[in-house]
Structure 1
Amino acid sequence: MLARDVSLVCLADGIVGLSFGALTVAGGLPVWVPVLMSLLVFAGGAQFSAVGVLLGGGTPIAAAATGLLLNARHVPFGFAVADVLGKLRFAGAHLIVDESVAFTLAQSDPARRRAAFWASGLSLFVVWNLCVLAGTLVGRAIGNTDALGLDAAYPAVLLALVLPALRDRGTRRAALLGGAIALATTPFLPAGLPVLAALVGLVIA
């Protein structure tokens, strides 16, 4: 059951990884950016957001800040799975993503939780990075993404990533308020900063 579920999630993540690699390179960034980012960051939502800021003309600092803020949820994730990491906690911390945490917490005993974390975390890490690399090759072949309408893929993927969280009323209110703030400040702020300004919605909501 666990192997089947992990395989299905890996398949879905692999498709997203392919699109990330392709769109990043086709958007004008060098191949090493998505490849190195995937190895060092390994967080799909944060990577899409950071690259979106860069391709929109934002600074690397704004891109990094956006990614870090999106990954702030990994702090409570770390506490939730701390018991399964043991002496390998520094290596394991790099594998803490939504999916590996979900698989871990779904298990009933410590041994199963440990197995679920490492099996899902390592599998997702390998699949994600291989597919991002493959995607960069596709992106170089595509070249002009605007001609194919792929410029809309970044917001579409990000929307798909956040949709499950929007079932919660408080989260939905914060997202709508943040979106309104981003739209209102876009004409006045440099590229990348409206995304950071949107985080005010989290505080107000």
Structure 2
Amino acid sequence: MEGLTLQVAKTKTKYLRALKAAFPHTIPIFAGFWFLGLTYGIYMNASGFSFWYPMLMSLTIFAGSVEFVAVNMLLGSFNPLQALAMTLMLNARHLFYGISMLDKYKGTGWKKIYLIFGMCDESFSINYTANIPKDVDNGWFMFFVTLLNHFYWFSGATLGGIFGSFIHFNTEGLDFVMTAMFVVIYMEQWFKDKRHASALLGLGISLLCLIAFGADNFIIPAMIAILGVLTLLKKPMEKGGETE
């Protein structure tokens, strides 16, 4: 009995340690997700949907851009092929995220299923680059990062849907909070790394693709180009001490 109690105590300690290590990394995400989630819930309410829609969609889809686009799809004619094509175009970048996380997700057990489902841009950024303390389980750290980010979006969208009819203000430009959040994440990684070849390559390639393909079509070509260039330069960067 004492052995079982001790084992339970150790397990709880492991969970709490991982949660405490993960939470500070998600604070900037909370600011972005919660306010944008509120905007999404208010938008759904203004479009004539009950709060059940943003609540369930944020819980089961968890893809902010797709959820915003889905509002017009739900209001329009039934066209599943268009919905599929739009979803693939908006979230194709997650294919590259998944390739990058193959090694990190090894050995995470049943948590891998939720980690794959909940891997958004922000969770990927944290889980891929965070320096996880040695006394913290990597799998549980990534799990709590993903869970917290999911909860931020879910709670914001739900509250926005519930109280949307009582809130009347101009929300134009509020989605810029997501851009600001990515800038903060980028700057944190910039100051953490001693060398900046990867960051500069990413910016340069993205700018070239933006010029070549335009603002609406540059993301996928940029991701492919960045993946290819960094793969080719991986060994020279490692020899030069580049941290990723």
TM tier, smaller? 0.5 to 0.7
State which of 17, 25, 30 in structure 1 corresponds to 2:37: 17
In the alignment, which residue of structure 2 is the partner of 1:33?
53
**Partner Cα separation in structure 1 for residue 143 and residue 69 of structure 2:** 26
* Counterpart position of 1:98: 121
CA deviation after TM superposition for structure 1 residue 49, in Å: 2.6
Structure 1 partner of 2:130: 107
Measured in 2, the distance between the counterparts of 1:137 and 1:108 equals 38
Residue identity (%) = 23
Deviations 1:109-145 (A, max 9, x none): 6966534421210101112111111000122334xx7
Separation in 2, partners of 1:78, 1:32: 30
RMSD: 3.5
Match of 2:214 in 1: 176
The one-letter code matched in structure 1 to 2:142 is F
TM-score, with structure 1 as normaliser: 0.67
The structure in which a higher percent of residues are helix is 1
Q: In the alignment, is the contact (CA less than 8 A) between 2:22 and 2:142 conserved in 1? A: no
CA distance in 2, matches of 1:107, 1:201: 24
Gaps spanning 5+ residues in structure 2: where? 1-20, 184-201, 222-244
> Which TM-score applies when normalising by structure 2?
0.57
Worse overlay, 39-48 or 16-25: 39-48
Cα distance in 2, alignment partners of residues 81 and 31 from structure 1: 34
CA contact (8 A) 1:46 1:67 kept: yes
Distance in 2 (CA, whole Å) between partners of 1:58 and 1:159 is 32
* 2: CA distance, partners of 1:58 / 1:20: 21
1-structure distance, mates of 2:127, 2:211: 30
The answer to whether the 8 Å contact 2:34/2:152 transfers is yes
Per-residue Cα deviation, 1:55-88 (whole angstroms, up to 9, x for no partner): 5x46453345323321121122122223343322
Residue type of the alignment partner of 1:157 = D
Map 1:8-87; keep pairs closer than 5 Å: 8-54=28-74, 57=76, 59=78, 61=80, 62-85=82-105, 86-87=108-109
Alpha carbons 1:46, 1:68 under 8 Å: kept: no
Match of 1:5 in 2: 25
- Residue type of the partner of 1:39? L
Distance between the aligned counterparts of 1:200 and 1:71, measured in 2? Answer: 13
What letter is aligned with 1:48? F
* Counterpart amino acid of residue 106 in structure 1: T
**Equivalenced residues, count:** 175
Matched-pair contact (CA < 8 Å) for 1:45–1:161 = no
